[in-house]
Amino acid sequence: MPRYGDNALVGRAPCDDVPGGGLPPRGLGDSALHEVAGIMRRHGIEEILGVPAVPAASGLRYRRAVRLEPEDEPWYLRSFGTDFQILPASWLRRGPSRCYSVGCDLDEDGERDGLVLVQALTPDHEGAEDLAGALVADLSAVAERVEGRSGEVWRRPCCWVAARITVEEGRPAHA
């Protein structure tokens, strides 16, 4: 079950309107989503709620930056790539340190479903490299495209992985 953090911007929002409100159903027939969830469980990574866009002032970040009218305020749009920040700094003290979210990919070419973003803190740099490599290998079975990297955030070893999963026809991958 997705977790809510103390940051109100950490939440899943569907890309499309859902008749009657709420989230679209996620059924066992969604084999790619089911497989992603299993991969994440095996690596001790928790699902968090993903949002398609966050204000730059939130402390969260996605790769693609835009400015919104009328105040010309900077925002980040959820997009493919490993240059993102989905873990709020406040979670270092309390909260999950290995998270993933499934949602929309809002890039220059438009909107697509099926973007998985993973950010995970590890005890050491070798662990971050190993986890990034393992996730890239595991997600390759269900992804059209996958990238991973390791580095540091808040002086802690971390890995980032982005995967565009194959979405079954007629089913939203962000449910």
Report the percentage of the chain scoring pLDDT > 70.
78
Show the tokens assigned to 27: 């059924």
**C-alpha span between 116 and 102 (Å, rounded):** 5
Identify which of 12-26, 39-53, 67-81, 100-114 has the greatest average pLDDT. 39-53
Residue 145 reports pLDDT greater than 80: yes
Q: pLDDT tens for residues 89-110?
A: 888 777 679 999 999 888 777 8
Question: Strand 73-77 to strand 64-68: parallel, antiparallel, or no bridges (unpaired)?
Answer: antiparallel
Q: Which of 3.20.20.70, 3.20.20.140, 3.30.930.10, 3.30.379.10 is the CATH number of 31-165?
A: 3.30.930.10
Domain ranges of the chain: 31-165
**C-alpha span between 164 and 172 (Å, rounded):** 13
Residue 24 reports pLDDT greater than 60: no
- Give the pTM: 0.77
